A and B are shown apart, each in its own frame.
Chain A
Amino acid sequence: MKSIGSFLKSHKDVAVYGAFVLLIALVALLARVIAPYDPLSSTLRDAFQPPSAQHLFGTDFMGRDLLSRVIFGTRASLSSALLLVMASMIIGGLLGIIAGYAGGAADTVIMRLCGAMLSFPDLILAIAIAGILGPSFINTIIAILAVSWTKYARLSRSMVLKIKKRDYISAARITGSRSSHILSSYMIPNALPTLLTTAVLDIGTTILSVSGLSFLGFGIQPPTPEWGYMLAEGRNYMMTYPWLMVFPGLAIFVTVVAFNLLGDSIRDALDPGRRRKHRRKRTGKA
């Protein structure tokens, strides 16, 4: 804990952006306490009320309080993004380490699979998978995971290939260390910091993918509050009730900004080479 404290002290930007992200996480955790209304209770009489003192963000087409729905929507976005990033890092990281360390047939199979998944632009593959499996929270995760693990696999594979050539690995092997020992004591600890930084940098993009899928109708299903499909709902009433599409979009934007700021600052803090080279550039970052 002490080392984290001193790290934050010497990298104030990480601390500030970290606090920003923590705040958003608190909103998700304490949604029940913060939200002024039940996000699911609808009074049709109150439908389409413009923002007011009673309903700061107004109400939607079913008369539900939009602020409460946006607050509860934090849960879906954060939990799916964190779950996805962790799962991609673990699955992709392990497959990449195996491919790099074992080589041969395992390497060929894993990397060919990577290549196949990477030969799709945009969200096309995720859309196809989510659509075929049927829209739901877990299927969104599976659909995006099918593509997102590849990044970590390629990254960890390339790191293992680099480490593999080092003298201490040959020394370990000559002195009779088992593969499992080499992997767990040398390979994984070496690859972990880079994988973790990539993961933090990835959270913002993942939130965008998840909400994009549900915007298209292939994600979490109503009535659970989720920002992407709240935007899709708001779009239908854009002409007359524009606030319905302003606030959910703003929520996505602010959250992605927070995670991107944190990711950038952690990457710069952990990569002294980059820091030295770009020091002048970095000061006063937006």
Chain B
Amino acid sequence: MLKKMILKRLLQMIVVLIIISFLTFLLTYLAPGDPAEAMYEAAGISPTEEQLNTARLSMGLDKPFIVQYGRWVTHALRGDLGTSFSKSLPVATLIGQRLLPTLKIAVFSMAIMLVVSIPLGLLSATHQDGVWDYLIRFLSFFGISMPGFWLGLLLMYVFCVRLHWLPAVSASSGFREMILPSVTLAIAMSSKYTRQVRASVLEELSQDYVIGARARGVRRSRILWRHVFKNALLPLITLLGISFGSLLGGTSIVEIVFAYPGLGNLAVQSVSARDYPLIQGVVLWVAMIYMAVNLVVDLTYDLVDPRIREAR
């Protein structure tokens, strides 16, 4: 049964990837401007008419749209995503360089988020309507409404410009360079997850089995840790997966604020330079990784929660 489901999901993923690649290809095809010109422009050269004609021929721009698309797909299937206009390097290499920094920041910010939001969410739920609850809810509400780029700039001003504790520009992906971008990402996520954990724990606390256990005289702390905690966090797995997937796809705005060399930064650079092969490559890669993470999450969920397994 499980095998059949994985197969079905993989098939769906392929369909979605075909739609996405077709749409991005169509978009760049319809975009104003000539790709041959864009190529020279991105490389900072002003071409002669002759150079343009040669480039158009070698890029296959004289062929009909569907032939061009077919050519791109067959190359992509072989792992060849073309060559970037602006950096004159293979697109696959450029994406490859960004993978480790992106993974590092994703793991680090998720770790901070979990350490902050699970205790705060629990505290908030178990002290419902107490001082802590109000304070935590107040903070998480503001955390959700805060623009990430503004928060990043403010943190940068305080810790880099004023206090000189951290480097302002994270051109490399060392530990010190990772701190501020990760914290910026973690603050927004923590606000969201603290609310989730709180809601989820409250929901679980109102279940009949909790009332029953309490009536039988089971200690509150035991109910909380042995039963409620585990059941309340289970539904969060799906959300965590989605968050992790989106972090792996790159977080353009925060990466741009700190000049962090991640995938999101590459995406913005490629779009600014109108580097069509790079845009197509990044878009395809990001969609692929995002869907793959979601598939893995659904599968783990399946393994952890026997109810879902039996339902199928």
Binding site for B on A (CB under 8 A): 112-113, 115-116, 119-125, 127-134, 204, 208, 211-212, 215-218, 228, 231, 234-235, 238-239, 242, 245-246, 249, 252-253, 256-257, 260, 277-278, 280-281, 283-286
The interface stretch among B11-19, B64-72, B109-117, B173-181 is B11-19
Q: Report yes or no: A127 in contact with B271, Cβ–Cβ below 8 A.
A: yes
The distance in angstroms between the C-alpha atoms of A127 and B249, with both chains bound, is: 13
**CB-CB < 8 A to B15: which residues of A?**
112
Q: Report yes or no: B27 in contact with A129, Cβ–Cβ below 8 A.
A: yes
The distance in angstroms between the C-alpha atoms of A217 and B271, with both chains bound, is: 10
**CB-CB < 8 A to B121: which residues of A?**
none
Check if B189 is an interface residue, CB within 8 A of chain A: no
CB distance from B281 to the nearest CB of A (A): 11
Q: Report yes or no: A127 in contact with B149, Cβ–Cβ below 8 A.
A: no
- Chain B 199-230 residues near chain A, CB threshold 8 A: 202, 206
CB distance from A89 to the nearest CB of B (A): 21
The distance in angstroms between the C-alpha atoms of A278 and B247, with both chains bound, is: 32
Q: Report yes or no: A281 in contact with B272, Cβ–Cβ below 8 A.
A: no
Give a binary string over B245-276; 1 marks a CB under 8 Å from any A CB, 0 the rest.
Answer: 11111111100110000001001100110100
Which of B16, B24, B246 makes the CB contact (< 8 A) with A128? B24
Q: Report yes or no: A124 in contact with B250, Cβ–Cβ below 8 A.
A: yes
Q: Report yes or no: B19 in contact with A113, Cβ–Cβ below 8 A.
A: yes
**CB-CB < 8 A to B95: which residues of A?**
none
Binding site for A on B (CB under 8 A): 12, 15-16, 19-20, 23-24, 27-28, 31-32, 128-129, 134, 137-138, 141-142, 144-150, 153-154, 156-157, 161, 202, 206, 245-253, 256-257, 264, 267-268, 271-272, 274, 279, 282-283, 286-287, 290-291
Nearest A residue (CB) for B21:
A116
CB within 8 Å for A122 and B264 given contacts A131-B271, A249-B154: yes
CB within 8 Å for A128 and B147 given contacts A116-B23, A238-B161: no
Q: Report yes or no: B147 in contact with A121, Cβ–Cβ below 8 A.
A: no
Q: Report yes or no: B148 in contact with A238, Cβ–Cβ below 8 A.
A: no
Q: List 11 A-B contacts (CB under 8 A).
A: A112-B16, A116-B23, A120-B283, A120-B287, A121-B286, A125-B283, A127-B252, A238-B161, A245-B157, A249-B147, A281-B129
Contact residues of B: prevailing secondary structure: helix
Q: Report yes or no: B157 in contact with A242, Cβ–Cβ below 8 A.
A: yes
Q: Report yes or no: B149 in contact with A120, Cβ–Cβ below 8 A.
A: no
The distance in angstroms between the C-alpha atoms of A124 and B263, with both chains bound, is: 10
**CB-CB < 8 A to B206: which residues of A?**
277
**CB-CB < 8 A to A131: which residues of B?**
271-272, 274, 279
The distance in angstroms between the C-alpha atoms of A216 and B245, with both chains bound, is: 22
The distance in angstroms between the C-alpha atoms of A121 and B142, with both chains bound, is: 23
**CB-CB < 8 A to B137: which residues of A?**
285-286
The distance in angstroms between the C-alpha atoms of A112 and B16, with both chains bound, is: 7
**CB-CB < 8 A to A119: which residues of B?**
16, 20, 287, 290-291
The distance in angstroms between the C-alpha atoms of A120 and B283, with both chains bound, is: 8
Q: Report yes or no: B256 in contact with A128, Cβ–Cβ below 8 A.
A: no
The distance in angstroms between the C-alpha atoms of A56 and B253, with both chains bound, is: 29
Q: Report yes or no: A127 in contact with B267, Cβ–Cβ below 8 A.
A: yes
Q: Which of B12, B15, B16, B245 has the most CB of A within 10 A?
A: B16
Nearest A residue (CB) for B154:
A249
Q: Report yes or no: A133 in contact with B264, Cβ–Cβ below 8 A.
A: no
Which of B128, B145, B149, B249 makes the CB contact (< 8 A) with A122? B249
**CB-CB < 8 A to B134: which residues of A?**
284, 286
Query: Given known contacts A122-B250, A215-B149, A257-B142, what 10 new A-B pairs fall within 8 Å (CB)?
Result: A112-B16, A115-B12, A115-B16, A119-B287, A120-B286, A124-B264, A124-B282, A235-B153, A249-B147, A284-B129
CB within 8 Å for A127 and B145 given contacts A133-B31, A231-B153, A249-B154: no
The distance in angstroms between the C-alpha atoms of A249 and B20, with both chains bound, is: 34
CB distance from B254 to the nearest CB of A (A): 10
Q: Report yes or no: B202 in contact with A281, Cβ–Cβ below 8 A.
A: yes
The distance in angstroms between the C-alpha atoms of A242 and B253, with both chains bound, is: 20
The distance in angstroms between the C-alpha atoms of A147 and B14, with both chains bound, is: 20
CB within 8 Å for A280 and B19 given contacts A121-B286, A128-B279, A217-B272: no
CB distance from A280 to the nearest CB of B (A): 6
Q: Report yes or no: B246 in contact with A212, Cβ–Cβ below 8 A.
A: no
Nearest B residue (CB) for A285:
B137
Q: Report yes or no: B129 in contact with A280, Cβ–Cβ below 8 A.
A: yes
Which of A116, A133, A212 makes the CB contact (< 8 A) with B148? A212
